[in-house]
Amino acid sequence: MSHAWLQNLLYLALLLGLAFPLGGFMARVLEGQRTFLHPVLGPIERGLYRLMGIREDEDMDWKAYAWSITLIKLLGLVAVFLLMKTQASLPLNPEHQANVATDLSFNTAVSFITNTNWQAYSGETTLSYLTQMLGLTVQNFLSAATGIAVLVALIRGITRRSVTGLGNAWVDLVRSVLYILLPMALVFALFLVSQGVIQNLAAYVHTSSGQVLAMGPAASQIAIKMLGTNGGGFFGANGAHPFENSSPLSNFTQMLAILLIPAALCLAFGQMVKDRRQGWALLAAMSLIFVGALSVCTQAEVVGNPALNRLAVSQVASTVSGAEQPGGNMEGKELRFGPGGSALWATATTAASNGSVNAMHDSFTPLGGLVPLWLMQLGEVVFGGVGSGLYGMLMFALVGVFIGGLMVGRTPEYLGKKVEAFEMKMASIAILLPCAAVLIGTAASVLNPSAMAAVSNPGPHGFTQILYAWSSSANNNGSAFAGLSVNTHFYNYGLALAMLLGRFGVFWPVLALAGSLVQKKHTPEGLGTLPTHTPLFVGVLIGVVLLVGALTFIPALALGPIAEQLALR
């Protein structure tokens, strides 16, 4: 058990330690300042602007910015959909994978353009190498870049004064990909290859014993799926597959990659608003919620299933788990990682909108499985997706200052900008729309006989499977609880709609809010201004996040994991 907790401490120390220098670098990139990469990548950047007909100094208002982001997402949707529908006649398909069904193609295309990466298929038996590389891997870069771009636009809305422009969406996308995502993914992919993650275009290997070993360009996709908080696996087993995640060191670094950019963006935010304390406050709020969730999940998994204790059953021992009960809860887990490594990955992947897995969440204890489910339901704001997590947390911050302003009888302000009725409406839409999609989708599934037929487990556990699927989709996470057969027309189209609402229904209100803030004058701090960098505000922010999550989802959670946990006692 002590091994698991030591791993958690090492993880948090390295995460925060690496976030500081990376945050400073990203702030310089996103502000257009020169970095050590500019001598090499600067000419490429300028060449791309000329090729695309972009003027670097051209500003967009919020509507033009939002339509630009929407356009690149819709083009990506069409591209991935057509690739999947025609892959049988395209090159780089050594296993002659057939064209993909229309409903699954639509679901997958929506999934990858929204940074959800929900997968109702197994990659090695469904997709060609061309579809994996040109379709999914490209969208892994672009969906992450759009999250960063929307965040940058919101930051400009806060920092600029009495103007209308939020910057240029195309410039922000190019810089995010060229200077941040591509270099980091290249280095990380090379590291993964050194650890045994495969990267080739070879045909599948058929052994003399009848086994089939899937091949392919996995490392290049795994690198950006982790760094971009995408999560879509090259293979169906995702991070539990040895060709995707080859060793304990590979496992640890991939977990670190999940939260690295989201954590660093908090510090980049502080630098870009010219008050580093603001970034520290947001990072502190995220970290405290994460530590609490990680502690609960780790304890639940390393202790094991309490029902087995009454039966005097000793689970399979694992030297890497560090559990006091031999092996802890080893069902659905890799011996290489054990319950400690699995609990850390599950918490990190659902705190971010990553969605990759190295264990089957369906096999977690009810309390252990509740943690990743609840983290998604908070809106993916505990670190969250690249860019999207921070602009989601900023929506909660605006609600926090609004409540604080009402308590002291003063117009609420955030970093010198007044927060008024329009901002609260947009923040409320961004926060509550994914919640509505989760609850409505879950209710529709429970009332639909064909949807209920996809459940593998009756009772509270089966309800949790359904609730998890909608929570994952609507909050653009993409992890699967497993045990639910989702490759049906109902789930493919229904979950795709939830993904679209979770992405477009959030970043449009965020950009509208940014467009309102950017036109406002800066208001100097007064005696009645609520400081947003203090421990008090961190507490207020955490309280708002937890309160919204509790009021919205506690009744549903009581029907699923909470009821199942109580049944074990």
Are 457 and 481 spatial neighbours (Cβ–Cβ below 8 Å)? no
- Helix, strand, coil shares of the chain as percentages rounded to 5? 65, 0, 30
Residue 1 has pLDDT above 60, yes or no: no
pLDDT category at 540 given cuts 50, 70, 90 is very high
Token reading at 455:
């459940």
Phi, psi (rounded to 5 degrees) for 414: -135, 115
Strands (DSSP E) along 317-377, which ranges? Answer: none
In percent, the amount of the chain with pLDDT more than 90 equals 80
pLDDT at 326: 63
Do strands 413-414 and 205-206 pair parallel, antiparallel, or not at all (unpaired)?
unpaired
pLDDT at 313: 57
Q: What's at 100, amino acid-wise?
A: V
Q: What's at 125, amino acid-wise?
A: T
Residue whose structure tokens are 């467009």: 515
Residue 332 is classified by DSSP as T
Averaged pLDDT for residues 108-116 = 96
Residue 39 has pLDDT above 80, yes or no: yes
Q: In angstroms, rounded to a whole number, what is the distance separating the alpha carbons of residues 320 and 250?
A: 15
The answer to whether residue 469 sits within a structural domain is no
Averaged pLDDT for residues 226-240 = 93
Q: In angstroms, rounded to a whole number, what is the distance separating the alpha carbons of residues 461 and 478?
A: 19
3-state secondary structure of 414: strand
Residue 180 has pLDDT above 80, yes or no: yes
CA distances from 478 to 225, 388, 399 (A): 11, 14, 27
**Domain region containing 51:** 18-261
Characterize 385-406 residue by residue with b for buried, 16 or more Cβ atoms within 10 angstroms of its Cβ, and e for exposed.
bbbbbbbbbbbbbbbbbbebbe
- Lowest pLDDT segment from 149-158, 173-182, 301-310, 479-488: 301-310
The answer to whether residue 218 sits within a structural domain is yes
Q: In angstroms, rounded to a whole number, what is the distance separating the alpha carbons of residues 493 and 507?
A: 21
The answer to whether residue 231 sits within a structural domain is yes
The answer to whether residue 235 sits within a structural domain is yes
Q: In angstroms, rounded to a whole number, what is the distance separating the alpha carbons of residues 548 and 554?
A: 10
Are 147 and 386 spatial neighbours (Cβ–Cβ below 8 Å)? yes
The answer to whether residue 216 sits within a structural domain is yes
Max Cα-Cα span within the chain = 78
Averaged pLDDT for residues 224-253 = 93
Q: In angstroms, rounded to a whole number, what is the distance separating the alpha carbons of residues 488 and 388?
A: 29
Task: Give the tens place of pLDDT for each residue, 273-300.
Answer: 999 999 999 999 999 999 999 999 999 9
| 43 Cβ contact partners less than 8 Å away, ≥ 6 residues apart | none
Residue 257 has pLDDT above 90, yes or no: yes
Are 451 and 490 spatial neighbours (Cβ–Cβ below 8 Å)? yes
For residue 455, list its beta bridge partners.
484
Q: Is the dihedral of CA 119, 125, 126, 128 positive or negative?
A: positive
Task: Give the tens place of pLDDT for each residue, 403-457.
Answer: 888 877 777 889 999 999 999 999 999 999 999 999 999 999 999 999 999 998 8
The answer to whether residue 98 sits within a structural domain is yes
Q: What's at 170, amino acid-wise?
A: W
pLDDT at 315: 47
Q: In angstroms, rounded to a whole number, what is the distance separating the alpha carbons of residues 259 and 389?
A: 10
Q: In angstroms, rounded to a whole number, what is the distance separating the alpha carbons of residues 323 and 301?
A: 9
The answer to whether residue 422 sits within a structural domain is no
Planar angle of CA 297, 301, 303, nearest 5 degrees: 120
Averaged pLDDT for residues 114-140 = 95
Token reading at 209:
């014993």
pLDDT category at 548 given cuts 50, 70, 90 is confident
- Quick count: other Cβ atoms within 10 Å of Cβ 8? 19
Token reading at 386:
């690249």
For residue 414, list its beta bridge partners.
417
- Quick count: other Cβ atoms within 10 Å of Cβ 10? 12
218: closest CA among 241, 237, 243, 188? 243
pLDDT category at 569 given cuts 50, 70, 90 is low
pLDDT category at 309 given cuts 50, 70, 90 is low
Residue 303 has pLDDT above 90, yes or no: no
- Lowest pLDDT segment from 94-103, 324-333, 352-361, 510-519: 324-333
Residue 549 has pLDDT above 90, yes or no: no
The answer to whether residue 140 sits within a structural domain is yes
Domain count, the chain: 1
Planar angle of CA 187, 193, 298, nearest 5 degrees: 85
Q: What's at 112, amino acid-wise?
A: F
Q: What is the mean pLDDT of the chain?
A: 92
Residue 318 has pLDDT above 50, yes or no: no
pLDDT category at 320 given cuts 50, 70, 90 is very low
Planar angle of CA 202, 208, 212, nearest 5 degrees: 45
**For residue 561, what is the enclosing H or E element?**
helix 561-568
Are 178 and 141 spatial neighbours (Cβ–Cβ below 8 Å)? no
pLDDT at 197: 96
- Quick count: other Cβ atoms within 10 Å of Cβ 212? 12
328: closest CA among 320, 319, 337, 339? 339
